[in-house]
Structures are given as structure tokens and as C-alpha cells.
Structure 1
Amino acid sequence: MSAQPRSDVPLPRPTGEAPDARLLTEAVTRLRRVLRSSIRTDYPWETLPMAQVELLQVLGEHSPARISDLATRRRLAQSTVSGLIGQMMTAGLVARDVDPADRRASVVTLTDAGREKLAAWTIAHERRIDVALAALDDDSRAAITHALPALFQLAEQLGESAEGEAEQ
């Protein structure tokens, strides 16, 4: 079963031309919106706010971590991250401990429940995306596969640009 192109989806530019920033922004925005809403439609048990999911993801890769490190990685205010961590502690997803390297500071780690929640969230999202990818034609799937390295590079570039602006 192959998905038919929709009339409101813009046609790609010829190869070699720079992508239109407005269209890329629109595509990313649509993807984020539909992923957020579809996970709750397809998996109604999933109620974790996206900001908490993103912190769980960071902790899944960089744990234990200080609140300041989490705030820097997610580009959020420390007070925002501290509030989210408080909610996640109440839910049993993370624990706060004394930093062994600096007893004046604290570090946050995932609990077993946090690891399980993150794994379930990841599996649900991957399953949802796998189903959508399977509905696309081979050329569309290949285009997405080939675009992934460039999208990661773009994210890295945007992150570096944001860091440079923050330092000025």
C-alpha cells in the first residue's frame, strides 16, 4: 500500500538547490505536532509531557547529571529543569543524590521506573513511525533515510549557532 502525495504538500526543489527554510520549518513543526498527538491517540496510557520525555532521554545517555548540565543540554532555564525534575521525582522516574565529586551539589539519575517509562515511550514512538514509514513508497522511504545524516548535521549546526549567540 503506497501513500499518495497530498495536494498541500510542497514539491521538493531540484537536487543541488538549498532547501527552503520556511518549508523545512513547516515540515519539522508538523512532524513534532503529529507525533505528540498521535502517541496519545494510539497509546492513551502515555501521558508524560514532552519536556519530561526529553529530560529522560538526556538522562538515558548522560546519567547521573547535574540540573545545570540538563538545563544546558535542553536549552532550558535551571529553574524550569528543577521544577520538571521535582515532578519526575514525585512520579518516581528520577532520583536526586549528592554529587560525589562535589558534596555541595546534587545529581539526578534515572530510577528503574524512569528507565522502563523511557523504554516504553521509545518503543511506542518507533512502532508508530515504523507503521507510517511502511505506508510510504520506496522512493519516499529512501529519501528520508538519505536525509537523516544531513538533518542531524543541521541540528548540530543550529545548536552551535545558538551556543555562539548565547555567548555574545
Structure 2
Amino acid sequence: MPPRSRSSAQSQDARLLTEAVTRLRRALRASIRTDYPWEQLPMAQVELLQVLAEHSPARIGDLAARQRLATSTVSGLIGQMINAGLVARAVDPADRRASAVTLTDAGRAQLAAWADAHERRLDAALGALDEGEREVVRAALPALFRLAEHLDETAASRCR
């Protein structure tokens, strides 16, 4: 049997990585809802909370661009989050004609609880692996972060 070409091997790797990431996300989402039934935040809202934790205050248009979503979609999500007390809208300090969104204390607490629940769940799953498997996962983390950065950069360049 001839060796696989690099492009064929890369395609296989890409397919398997897609499958692994999809299965991990699905399993984590399902286990969180089962193990922590209080956790009801939609993932889109969690992702906006995460962005606001890093970049706050932020205009809705900037949030939409950062998340690669329509401004109207982000505006609707922010409206729901304002009603839930997770974020607040105020005058943008950089431009008094515009408004900006910030995390509230309740939003920070909800995001911290979400992160803690996920970390506990992943910690338990990692504990089920043997040390060799945990080391493989640990060793892959830097490359996975670089892969995510590359994907972000590629998507951002296409939006320009």
C-alpha cells in the first residue's frame, strides 16, 4: 500500500480533528446540562460574556465583528442579557453619541460559575484517562491554541 500523500494525511487529520472537536463540544454541552441543570445560558451568550470579560466596554458593532455575527443578532442577544441583568448598556466613554456594553457583577459571576462547572467536568474526564493520555492532551494544547489563532486570523482577513 503506497504511503498517503501529505495532502491526504492533512485532509484525514482535518476530518478527525473536526469530528473530535464536534464530539467534545456536544458531550461537554450535554454533560453540563445534565450535571449542572442550573446552567441554561445559550452558548452565544456565554461567548459574548467571554468577549466582554476581555474587552469591556464594547460597542455592539465591535462585538458583532469580533464574533462574526450580524449586528442585529448581537443586539438581540445583548437585549436578552440586559433583561437577565448580565450586562448593562451605557454611554460609550470614547464617543458620547454611542453606547457601549459592559459586564455586570451578575454577568461576571455567571461567567465564572459557567467556567468553573466546565473546568470541573473536564477535570473529571481528564481524570478518567491514564497518565500517558493526559500527557498527550497536555502536549497538544500549545498546538491547539496556535491552530485556533490561525483560524481566527484567517477568518479576520476574509472579513476585511
TM-score, length of structure 2 as denominator length? 0.90
1:25-52 deviation line (CA, Å, top 9, x unaligned): 0001011111111110000011110100
- In structure 1, the residue matched to 2:28 is 35
In the TM superposition, residue 160 of structure 1 has moved relative to its aligned partner by 1.4
- Unaligned 5+ residue runs, structure 1? 1-16
- Unaligned 5+ residue runs, structure 2? 1-8
Percent of aligned pairs with the same amino acid: 74
Tell me which moved more, 72-81 or 17-26.
17-26
In the TM superposition, residue 80 of structure 1 has moved relative to its aligned partner by 0.7
Structure scoring higher RCO (CA < 8 A, sep ≥ 6) equals 1
Q: 2-side partners of 1:166 and 1:101: how far apart?
A: 25
- In structure 2, the residue matched to 1:58 is 51
1:100-134 deviation line (CA, Å, top 9, x unaligned): 11111111001111111011111000000000001
Q: How does 1:43-82 map to 2 (within 5 A)?
A: 43-82=36-75
- In structure 1, the residue matched to 2:6 is none
- In structure 2, the residue matched to 1:121 is 114
Q: 2-side partners of 1:63 and 1:134: how far apart?
A: 35
In the TM superposition, residue 165 of structure 1 has moved relative to its aligned partner by 2.1
Q: 2-side partners of 1:23 and 1:56: how far apart?
A: 30
Q: How does 1:133-152 map to 2 (within 5 A)?
A: 133-152=126-145
Aligned to 2:124, which of 115, 121, 131?
131
Tell me which moved more, 155-164 or 103-112.
155-164
Q: Which runs of 4+ in 1 moved over 3 A?
A: none
* Count of residue pairs brought into register by the alignment: 151
Per residue, is there more helix in 1 or in 2? 2
Amino acid paired to 1:128:
R
Q: 2-side partners of 1:139 and 1:130: how far apart?
A: 16
1:123-158 deviation line (CA, Å, top 9, x unaligned): 000000000001101111111111111111111111
Q: 2-side partners of 1:126 and 1:29: how far apart?
A: 18
User: Aligned pair 1:163/2:159, yes or no?
Assistant: no
- In structure 2, the residue matched to 1:22 is 15
- In structure 2, the residue matched to 1:106 is 99
Tell me which moved more, 130-139 or 72-81.
72-81
Q: 2-side partners of 1:36 and 1:107: how far apart?
A: 30
- Cα RMSD after superposing both structures: 1.2
Tell me which moved more, 151-160 or 125-134.
151-160
TM-score, length of structure 1 as denominator length? 0.86
In the TM superposition, residue 164 of structure 1 has moved relative to its aligned partner by 2.1
